[in-house]
Amino acid sequence: MMRERQHGPLILPGGGVTFRLWAPAANQVEIVTEMEVVAATPRDGGWHDATIADARAGEHYKFRIDGDIDVPDPGSQFQPNDVQGPSEVIDHAYDWQATNWRGRPWHEAILLELHVGAFTARGDYRGVIEKLDHIVDTGFTAIELMPLSDFPGRWNWGYDGVLPFAPDSVYGTPEDLKALIDAAHARGLMVFLDVVYNHFGPEGNYLHRYAPAFFTEDAHTPWGAAIDYNVPQVRAFAIENALHWLEHYRFDGLRLDAVHAIAACGTPPILTALSEAVGELAARSGRLIHLVLENDDNETSLLDPAEQPSRGKHHAQWNDDYHHAWHALLTGEDAGYYSDYHAQELLPRVLSSGFAYQGEPSTHRGGKPRGEPSGMLPAPAFVSFLQNHDQIGNRARGERLDVLAPAAAVEAALAVTLLAPMPPLMFMGEEWGATQPFPFFCDFKGELADAVREGRRREFKEAYERQGEDGDIPDPLDEATFRSAVLDWSAQNKARLALVKRLLRVRRETIIPRLMPLGPRGDTASFDDGVLTAAFQITGGTLSLLANLTHAESAKLSAFSPPHMIWGDVPPGTLPAWSVFWGWSER
């Protein structure tokens, strides 16, 4: 059973629905249904509730605040008519087919990140179901969905969600989402969801009107006043939301967006409390549930991939440092945060000990120290990637890596990334070398749309002027910008897809079985004159890497002589440009 929830409607066993709203700044709250208006009873702690005996699943309703404004339920579990419309009562009973599914161990994760609306021309959950066999055949063991929380308009990246319990209706119904997860589980795929607990989107959120205590002016984020997790009702909102996705929809894990931007964490910190609650669910249900962070602060104290079920820690973190070091090497870019990433020094570090910045000062961040020592954590604590939605879409034109770097260089980087011990993540279409953009897109209206459009143009115009480039920026509000991001499945590079399939098969058959048990790392790496070498100590022996990451031939390193080659033939007398070799030796 799920913890007793405070937020959202409660369907009663004997019939009827209790509607609840935390509205400490409201003098009067009414529930407005299609048939009646019912006054809610004020309760201690700022709560208002009312039970409507003849209400059922499917009921549409709003809350009326002080007779002045009708608002959706912040705990709404579905919005059939977008964020400004009424909320719908959802019965989460579902006839699950993959009844024996209990998840997969974290070290088996090979992730494909995707945006439901842009993954197929259909742009919905059923469209994703149609492509699950491709995902499995390629070699992935998990999919990760970009945020689904209800957002304003017809399309959005997902990070402007305002009703975090409600999967957006543009992708289908809650039943459709469950069908996707059930179908993935039937194929052995884990399903992760990206969730956002650091801010609400700019349109359709009314919490400031009736629950201003949800936020604190004592701490601010890039989106305004911080969500205040010192407040018990606010803490419950986030924890209940995590459990909602994991229990009602049976997601296998969550990726928590930009937790460094959670400025009012509370005591104990909200991340600790959320992890403990998820661990309780995992223990009760016998499921393997995984929590992954995005955290620019590189706090290793939050991570432990061996803690199952979770008891306050999180299994892994997206390793932006890994991406940045590779991107700087492959593209030669050195503007913005790439100025901090000198591949000769930092690429060996991210391969052998996790983060590039483990307490050192960051020039891009004004010389402030960043990160904590990470070498003691096992490799599965760090999710590695060469591309993701952020690193593509936060570029002005949304260019993918295959547009910015030579194919041979990208394929060498893939051969390293997909066979190294760290769990790899790819972005939809990357497996076949997609070159179409994935720009930022949204569907706001009026003054907000104008502000977003002009703000983005201003941001990137300045960057282009510094680089002497053309400042033509796609309009994020234009439907054509969204359409340009929808994957063209007919444009697959068959050779690239075959390469990725071979790499992932080697990973599943040779690497993954040797990643357990998890223990401290004793890995080494060096990068000299464009030649990368590394040795990873995993179960039963040493996994060795030799790679020439330059455009020219290089002299072979005679020290590389593993008895079992698992990728590439025995290295020749000279190393071809952009060549990668992996070998295995027993202890």
| Of 214, 229, 198, nearest in space to 297 by CA | 198
Q: Tokens for 385?
A: 């990637």
Beta strands in 53-182 (DSSP E): 60-65, 69-71, 87-88, 111-114, 142-145, 149-150, 163-167
Query: Do 187 and 140 form a contact (C-beta atoms < 8 A)?
Result: no
How far is it, in rounded angstroms, from Cα 46 to Cα 572? 73
360: three-class secondary structure by DSSP: coil
3-state helix, strand, coil split of the chain in percent (to 5) is 35, 20, 45
Convert the pLDDT of each residue in 113-145 to its tens digit: 999 999 999 999 999 999 999 999 999 999 999
The pTM (predicted TM-score) of the whole model is 0.96
- What are the residue boundaries of the structural domains of the chain, listed by start? 10-88, 106-449+491-514, 524-586
**Digit-coded pLDDT (tens) for 210-239:** 999 999 999 888 888 999 999 999 999 999
Report pLDDT for 463.
62
DSSP element (H, E) containing 119 = helix 116-119
Q: Same CATH topology for 10-88 and 524-586?
A: yes
Candidates 298, 299, 303; CA nearest to 322 is 298
Above 90 in pLDDT, residue 468? no
Catalytic pick from 30, 203, 247, 294?
Answer: 294
Query: CA geometry: angle at 14 spanning 10 and 17, to 5°?
Result: 30
CA distance 355 to 295: 11
Rounded Cα gap, residues 90 and 150, in angstroms:
15
Give the separation between CA 577 and CA 568, rounded to whole angstroms: 13
Q: Quote the crossing angle between the two packed helices 320-331 and 343-353, to the nearest 10°.
A: 150
Structure tokens given for 444 = 């706001």
**Pairing relationship of beta strands 425-427 and 524-528 according to DSSP bridges:** unpaired
Per-residue tokens: 505: 């098969």
The answer to whether 276 is a known catalytic residue is no
And the tokens for 296?
């620019």
Per-residue pLDDT at 461: 73
The average confidence (pLDDT) of the chain is: 94
Q: 20-79: per-residue pLDDT in tens?
A: 999 999 999 999 999 999 999 999 999 999 999 999 999 999 999 999 999 999 999 999
Q: Tens digits of per-residue pLDDT, 370-410?
A: 999 999 999 999 999 999 999 999 898 999 999 999 999 99
Q: CATH top-level class for 10-88?
A: mainly beta
Does the annotation mark 472 as catalytic?
A: no
Overall CATH class of domain 106-449+491-514: alpha beta
Residue of 59, 168, 257, 431 with catalytic role: 257
Q: What single-letter DSSP state applies at residue 215?
A: E
Percent of the chain, pLDDT > 90? 89
**Whole-angstrom distance, CA of residue 557 vs CA of residue 548:** 10
The dotted CATH code for 524-586 is 2.60.40.1180
pLDDT of amino acid 460: 81
